[in-house]
Structures are given as structure tokens and as C-alpha cells.
Structure 1
Amino acid sequence: MSLHSALLSRIGIKTREPIHFKDLGDILRAFSRTVPFENFRILNKTSGRLDQASLVSKLVSGQEGGVCYELNSLLYYFFIESGMNAAIVPGTVYHHGNGAWSLSGTHAAVIAEADEGAYLLDGGFGINVAQTPIPMSGETVQTDTGQFRVANKPTAEGTHLLEMKLAHEEAGVWKTGYAFNAEKSLRLSDLHSMQQKIQEHPGSPFNKDPLAAKRTATGFITLTKDSFTVTSGTKSEKQAISETEFVEIAEREFGLKTGPFL
């Protein structure tokens, strides 16, 4: 089975050939509600390679999730197989709690070109995925996640910014999601270096505690080692959980086996 057919089957979409630009919103939305953002293999020290075959084995056949360089690399391979001109580009997430950039160069996103222009596509930004292509032209797009736009504002971390107004935040102000470098295309060796940095660097946000998250039809769900949160619109219900409940929720809500890290 081709990646095209296998991925669409994984996310519950009937095979479409060829894939058109207008299909990408449906695909990104279904991807965000099916393939979780999670770091279990990082904690278990069992991360695999990032080539197409390895990612299909983990994310499609194995029904697991992953972090940005896994999720967006799989989408990149899918876009390329579908005949699109695409590249994986590096970025740095802005940490609003700290008021500073997170670990430099550890986010991966995709830029794809269509007849309509160039677009930022991201299926690996946790619960903050736009679920639709975002025009590089700066035009604002709106989905049930919120409003998103690309700003041509060079910083030390990249050539552009992803800016967003998130639907679950009542303030409704534009804020920076991440900076990215639209002029640099990442190779497989670069992605493996990013993976190693996320796995080993003391400043990495993903090598300490477990996290799983995915979008839903009305919001999103988030699982940490101590809590399970269900968010619908601007309302969230957070419950404290035990280790046993963590294992049960990981499998029931995300389809994930935890492994030995607990």
C-alpha cells in the first residue's frame, strides 16, 4: 500500500487521487484528531529513524503519535508523493510562560507551493495546529482552533513568524507561536540532529515528563503524568489522575502504550 493510501486510511479519509490543494484542510484536520502529539518513545529511549519507511511503521502501521519532526516529516513525504513541491523548514517555538524562545531550532514545519501560492503547513504543533494551510502572503486564516497568519518579521530565530489568536484563550490577542526559516530546507541528517537535541539536551521540554495531546471536534484533550484535561471551546475540565489511570487513558483516548518510562 502506498503512503498516500495508508495515511488517508489511518486518519479515516477515503482515498482521493489525485490530492488537490483544496483537500489539504480536510487532511490536516483529520490528522490532528487522529495522530496524537506525544513523546513516549523519547522517554523510553526507543526513538527510531525519520526516513519514510520508519515513520510509516511508527505513525501509520503502529498507530502511534510523535513530535513535530516526526509528524511533519510524515506529512512532507505524503505531500511529495502526492506531487507537491514541499520542504521541511526549521523553527523555534516561543515560550510565553518564560517570555523567551525555547530550545533553538527544534521545531520542524513544512512549506508547500501550489498554484495558489506558498503555504505553511504544520501537523506537529501540539494542540495549536491551524488544521489548514496558512498563506505565506500574510493573509489570516480561521479554523475552530483560532486565527493564524504568517508575518514577515525576521528575528535571530528565523525569517518569519507564525502568529495566532487561539480560540480557547479568551484574550483574543495575536501572539507568536514560533519563528521559522523559510529559506532553509532541512535534510534527513538535520532532522536526526534535531531529534538528538530534543532527546538529550537539558533544555528540551520533551525529555522529562510524558505528554499526549490531540484535537477533537469541539476542542482538544491533553494528558500529562498527573492530569487529564478535556477542553471544549473556552471551557476546560481537568482531573487529577493516578499512574494506573494514566496508562488507561493513554490507551483509551490516544491508542498509546506507555512502555517502561512510568
Structure 2
Amino acid sequence: MAKSIIHPILRQRLGLPDNETIAFEHLEDVLIQMAKEIPFENLSIMENRNAAITMDNLFDKMILRKEGGLCYELNTVLYYFLCESGFHTTMVRGITYDHNESQWSAGGRTHIINLIEHNGQPYLVDSGFGGNLPLKPVPLNGEVVVSDNGEFRVERVNGEHGDCLLYMKLKHKHDDWKIGYAFDSTRGIKDLSELDDVQNIIVHHPQSRFNKKPLLTKRTDQGNITLTNSSFTQWIDGIEHKQEINDEAMFKELLRTHFDWKG
């Protein structure tokens, strides 16, 4: 499969104009549409149908079957889209901060993100952080970026987990800045096989939060929605609406209705 196939078909899935050049100013639209159209989800893990991280497999899953994925899938597709749009793009690994446990993720550096350059300035571009997405490129110079999802900034540090920290203040959820993740902007991923290692950790690590129960989330025009096998939560204009799920039939119906699932 030629990588260039990703570009026009992903445009189609995201509802982007066919003939419009993707300039830096358009990346906000790309990130918003990805967050709305391609859910952050782990069903392939829960259904034991994982595949090697190759462009053929990602194309089949996320473009042809119109499923979603986790960060190492979502941001890999975004990586090739950005490259094909003419951006100098690098994928790097990060480590997320677990606020429930007040510690860094036990699985280590399993968060995959993209970095691009624009007018000599590096920016973070992330479509794989669940409900915590910046929805805009975030410069690595500390400048605060404001989107429909909240406020975000990247602080340069000299830490054990890398040289950058992403901070977030989610709209309607956070009163203070929270650490999202740390990453090393100088250590780019050289080969997709490195993402197989990431997937292996997420699938098998005993403390992975993505191998315990199904999880799907995506943006909506009013906020976001999150589905597990025990609850369905909608954030509508800052107000949380939570519904308990009683059985598998109810879960599958919500899956079809809100996530257009064909499985």
C-alpha cells in the first residue's frame, strides 16, 4: 500500500476538503475532526485481535473498517498524514502521569505523540490522549494554548522522564494545572517496530488501564462521551450525565448508536 493513500481517504473520513492544502493554520480543524470522528478506544485489545503496527494494518483498521485506536495507532496515522502534508514531523515516546495514584505510569514510556516544526518553532501535536486532547498544536516554549477542551502548555525541564512536560487545565474539570505527561523531544522514534513494544506493554502489563475493560471516548459538538462496559458518560456544555449499563446488550446498543460500531 502506498502511504499516499492515507491522505485523501483520511481527509474523506474527517470531512476535510479534497483540494485544500493542509497549512499550519488548518491543523486545529484536523485535530478537532480526528477527535470527533476517530474514537480513542481499546476494543481490539479486549477482543484479542491485535496486529503489528504497520501502515497496512492501521489503514485496514482505522480507514477501511472505520475503527479507532489508542495513542500508538492514532498518532501514527496522524504522523503519516502530517508528513504527506509537508510538515517536518517526528514521533516521540512519553510517560503519562496517573493522578489517581499520584505517580508516573507503571508501564513507562508508552504514550506516543508527534512533534512538528513551524517557522523554526517546535510544536506538540497529539490525537491520542483520550479526553485530554489539546485540540491545537502546542508550542514547546511555555505559551498557553486555549481550545474548546481547556488550556494547555509545555514546560521545558531537565527531568528523569525527558526535557518537556505537558500541563493541562481541562475545561469544566480542572481548577488548577495538572501534569499530563513528560516526553523527550530529542529522542525520535526511528522505526515502527518500536511501537510494537509499546503495544505489547499496554496489552500485557498488569497495571495497564487499557487491558481491563472496554473504553471508548470521543469529542462531540457539546463536549465528549465516554463508554465502558459499566457506564456511559456524556459531558454536555460542562454538565456530566452518567448512565449505568446493566448488560452486554445495552453496551452494544450504545456502541452502535454513539460510536457507529459495525462489529
TM-score band, normalised by shorter chain: over 0.9
Out of 226, 231, 236, the residue aligned to residue 240 of structure 2 is 236
Deviates more, 1:206-215 or 1:182-191: 182-191
Contact 1:230 1:236 in 2 (8 A): yes
Matched residue, 2:64: 61
Shift of 1:168: 2.4
Structure 2 CA distance for aligned equivalents of residues 244 and 175 of structure 1: 37
Shift of 1:257: 4.5
Matched residue, 2:77: 74
Taking structure 2 as the reference length, the TM-score comes to 0.94
Matched residue, 1:4: 7
Shift of 1:151: 0.6
Contact 2:75 2:113 in 1 (8 A): yes
Matched residue, 1:13: 16
In structure 2, stretches of 5+ residues that fail to align are none
Tell me which amino acid in the other structure corresponds to 1:127.
Answer: G
Shift of 1:16: 3.8
In structure 2, relative to structure 1, the CA distance for the partners of 1:40 and 1:128 (3 Å cut) is: same
Alignment of 1:158 with 2:162, yes or no, is yes
Matched residue, 1:214: 218
Tell me which amino acid in the other structure corresponds to 1:27.
Answer: V
Matched residue, 1:246: 251
Structure 2 CA distance for aligned equivalents of residues 17 and 26 of structure 1: 12
Displaced runs of 4+ in structure 1, greater than 3 A? none
Contact 2:13 2:63 in 1 (8 A): yes
Shift of 1:6: 0.6
Shift of 1:3: 1.4
Matched residue, 2:91: 88
* Cα deviation code 1:38-93 (max 9, x no counterpart): 00001112112222222111111110000000000000011111121101100111
Query: Is the partner of 2:185 in helix, strand or coil?
Result: coil
Shift of 1:248: 0.7
Taking structure 1 as the reference length, the TM-score comes to 0.94
Pairs within 5 Å for 1:110-189: 110-115=114-119, 117-169=121-173, 171-186=174-189, 187-189=191-193
Structure 1 CA distance for aligned equivalents of residues 84 and 42 of structure 2: 27
Superposed CA RMSD in Å reads 1.3
Contact 1:167 1:233 in 2 (8 A): no
Shift of 1:35: 0.2
Tell me which amino acid in the other structure corresponds to 2:254.
Answer: I
Shift of 1:139: 0.7
Contact 1:104 1:157 in 2 (8 A): no
Shift of 1:233: 3.3
Structure 2 CA distance for aligned equivalents of residues 138 and 220 of structure 1: 27
Structure 2 CA distance for aligned equivalents of residues 50 and 20 of structure 1: 28
Structure 1 CA distance for aligned equivalents of residues 37 and 158 of structure 2: 34
Instruction: Report the identity percentage.
Output: 40
Contact 1:3 1:78 in 2 (8 A): yes
Structure 2 CA distance for aligned equivalents of residues 233 and 100 of structure 1: 31
Matched residue, 2:44: 41
Query: Is the partner of 1:2 in helix, strand or coil?
Result: helix
Contact 1:110 1:120 in 2 (8 A): yes
Matched residue, 1:193: 197
Matched residue, 1:255: 260
Structure 1 CA distance for aligned equivalents of residues 145 and 55 of structure 2: 30
Tell me which amino acid in the other structure corresponds to 2:143.
Answer: E
